[in-house]
Amino acid sequence: MLVRSSFWCALAGAAVLCSHDAAEAQDSIPVGQLVAETGATAPVARIYGRGVTDAIAWINAQGGVDGRAIELDTVDYGYDPAQAIATYKAWADGSQPVAIQGWGTADTEALVDLVKRDEVVFMSGSASGNLTDPTGNSPWSTEPAPYNFFYGPSYSDGCRALVQFAAEEWKRSASAQGASTFLGDLYRPKFAYMGDNHPFPNSPRAACLDYARDLSFEIVPPIRYALTPADFTEQCRTLERSAADFAFLANTAEANVRLVRDCARLGVATQFVTNVYGWDEDAADRAGDAGNGVVWVVTVAPWDEDVPGMETLRAVSLQSDASGNDARSVHYIRGVCAAFFMRDAMQRAAGEGKITGSAIKAGFESMRDHVPEELEGVCLPSSWTATDHRGTTTVNLYRSHNNFGTVTASEVYTTTMPLRPDWLGW
């Protein structure tokens, strides 16, 4: 079932500008939004989607883009690529959007050719490395993706950063134990890649494991576990038998919470690290003691950080929480950043004369170390070019703490992965 923007309007109330009357639509900017309000990744997807929706509501309340409102048509596509394609075709047959705010890896990659053909900018929640090569010249690229953008480092660079962190953790541990060599045969750490057999968890696997081998990790056989929570006892036993020192969890937070709890129950001592959607504040709370020490990728300033842009972020949050009492997760804030970067690309397009897909694309590709003005300190500085759509390779890692029921997180590692040409599109 398709749930359009009226669904979000009902949730958010009058604060959201859901303009569908003919007079307003004549001077509006049509944008589609694909959300996975249902489906395997829904618990994190709906939070990200709400961030996008609230941000656009706030932008419209401030006058929109060049005096024009963004008319958002939101559809729950159920995390189903076929439904995403059907929705896109319906948009193309009606009021073709100039841009789309999307979500998943499988559906985003399925639409690459269509958005390229129609010159529609597609900004996804997915940060698949496959979307970073606009020319198709990379040996890893199956097709050029000139109209695809996303906010934050790619899944591949996120996983590489976690591997780098793990190598340094191992070095410190070996040193503390009096080892004379680092990553030698005797002290070579083991690394496990865990996730479902699905485009999202599979996306960074080859790139991440290749880098882990470069850093002298021993790679144990991959361990599959479902995107939806289940009994993961057997996977935890397999992990324990592998004697992996580090395990990358490639699924989203719901499944990861169940996995770390099952593994804790069995006494598995592996250090878990995970992707940008693999953990969050709520996951840490639900995991309890089992989640203590999980390290994950964070691309925004968390809700309680004192940075200049937090005032705007809290104003954005009021669009669907008039009380102002909701503490927003990092996924929500990531969605807000994605919407503001799109707005800024639209503003640059308007400055050149017309807000079209090709002009928005050029707007993105003109950004150098750009941060939306109102979100200083919240979003990472980002740059895109006509030949490289890796907006940033800076990766921040946080560690989850649970001290007698009090859940906190602290930044433990920051790195900027090199813009290696051989990593483009991978």
Q: Are 196 and 223 in contact (CB under 8 A)?
A: no
CA distances from 257 to 162, 280, 300, 333, 337 (A): 19, 10, 22, 21, 26
Tell whether the model's pLDDT for residue 117 goes beyond 90.
Answer: yes
pLDDT of 94: 87
> Residue 374 — pLDDT band, cuts 50, 70, 90?
very high
Indicate yes or no: pTM above 0.95. no
Computed over every residue of the chain, the mean pLDDT equals 92
What structural domains and CATH numbers belong to the chain? 5-152+305-375 (3.40.50.2300), 156-303+394-423 (3.40.50.2300)
pLDDT of 122: 98
pLDDT of 186: 60
Nearest partner of 204 among 422, 426, 415, 391, judged by Cα: 426
Nearest partner of 161 among 208, 199, 194, judged by Cα: 208
Separation CA 117–CA 336 (nearest Å)? 27
